[in-house]
Amino acid sequence: MRFSLQREALLKPLAQVVNVVERRQTLPVLANLLTQVTDGLLSLTGTDLEVEMVSRSAVDDAQDGETTIPARKLFDIARALPDGSKITLSQTGDKVTVQAGRSRFTLSTLPANDFPSVDEVEATERVSVPEAALKELIERTAFAMAQQDVRYYLNGLLFDLADKRLRCVATDGHRLALCETGLDEAVANKRQIIVPRKGVQELQRLLEGGDRALVLEMGRNHIRVKRDDVTFTSKLIDGRFPDYEAVIPIGADREVRIDREALRASLQRAAILSNEKYRGVRLEVSPGLVRINAHNPEQEEAQEEVEADTKVDGLAVGFNVNYLLDALSALRDEHVVLQLRDANSSALVREAGSEKCRHVVMPLRL
As a whole number, mean pLDDT of residues 226-237 equals 95
SS3 (DSSP) at 238: coil
Q: What is the C-alpha to C-alpha distance for residues 201 and 118, in angstroms, rounded to an integer? A: 19
Position 128 scores a pLDDT of 95
Residue 124: pLDDT band (50, 70, 90) is: confident
Is 120 part of a structural domain of the chain?
no
- 240 and 129 fall within a common domain: yes
Domain boundary among 79, 114, 149: 114
DSSP lists the bridge partners of residue 301 as 295
Residues 323 and 266 in one domain: yes
According to DSSP, the residues that pair with 339 across neighbouring strands are 255, 348
Strand ranges in 261-311 using DSSP code E only, listed in sequence order = 280-286, 289-295, 301-309
Based on the fold, state whether residues 109 and 169 are members of the same structural domain.
no
Instruction: Share the mean pLDDT of the chain.
Output: 95
Residues 4 and 87 sit within 8 Å (Cβ to Cβ): yes
What CATH number did the domain enclosing 208 receive? 3.10.150.10
Whether residues 340 and 276 fall in one domain: yes
Domain count, the chain: 3
Q: Is 51 among the domain residues?
A: yes
Does 158 share its domain with 227? yes
Selected residue with higher pLDDT from 23 and 185: 185
Lowest mean pLDDT among 22-26, 52-56, 70-74, 122-126: 22-26
Q: Is residue 187 assigned to a domain?
A: yes
Rounded-to-integer distance, Cα 306 and Cα 345, Å: 22
pLDDT reading at 366 higher than 80 = no
Is 0.75 topped by the overall pTM? yes
- Is residue 153 included in any domain, yes or no? yes
Domain boundary among 225, 245, 265: 245
Strand partners for 208: none
pLDDT in tens, 250-289: 878 899 999 999 999 999 999 999 999 999 999 999 999 9
Specify whether the CB–CB gap between 207 and 135 falls below 8 A.
yes
Residues 134 and 109 both lie in one domain: no
Distance CA 125, CA 302 (A): 52
pLDDT of 25 > 90? The answer is no
* Residues in Cβ contact with 24 at an 8 Å cutoff, skipping those fewer than 6 apart: none
Q: Are residues 190 and 167 in the same domain?
A: yes
The Cα–Cα gap between 130 and 327 comes to: 24
Q: Give yes or no: residues 197 and 89 share one domain.
A: no
* Domain limits for position 9: 2-114
Tens digits of residue pLDDT in 175-218 = 999 999 999 999 988 999 999 999 999 999 999 988 899 999 99
269: amino acid identity, one letter:
R
Question: Nearest-CA neighbor of 4 among 110, 98, 138?
Answer: 98
**Of how many residues is the chain composed?**
366
Share of the chain above pLDDT 90, in %: 92
Q: Residue 26's pLDDT is what? A: 83
Residue range 67-90: mean pLDDT, rounded: 96
Tell whether 25 and 85 lie within a shared domain.
yes
Does 87 score more than 90 pLDDT?
Answer: yes
Does 98 reside within a domain? yes
Cα distance between residue 141 and residue 356, in whole Å: 12
- pLDDT band for position 361 (50/70/90)? very high
Rounded Cα distance, 352 and 299, in Å = 36
Least Cα distance to 183 among 139, 137, 127 occurs for: 127
Residue 202 lies in a domain: yes
In angstroms, the CA 309 to CA 346 distance is 20
Domain's final residue, options 114, 147, 168: 114
| φ/ψ (deg, to 5) at 153 | -70, -10
> What single-letter DSSP state applies at residue 277?
T
Please report the pLDDT score of residue 129 as a whole number: 95
CA 212 to chain centre: 18
Kindly state whether residue 317 falls inside one of the protein's structural domains.
yes
When mean pLDDT is compared across 49-53, 55-59, 117-121, 201-205, the lowest value belongs to: 117-121
Q: Does any domain span residue 307?
A: yes
Are residues 134 and 195 located together in one domain of the fold? yes
Say if residue 238 is in the same domain as residue 161. Answer: yes
Same domain, 178 and 235: yes
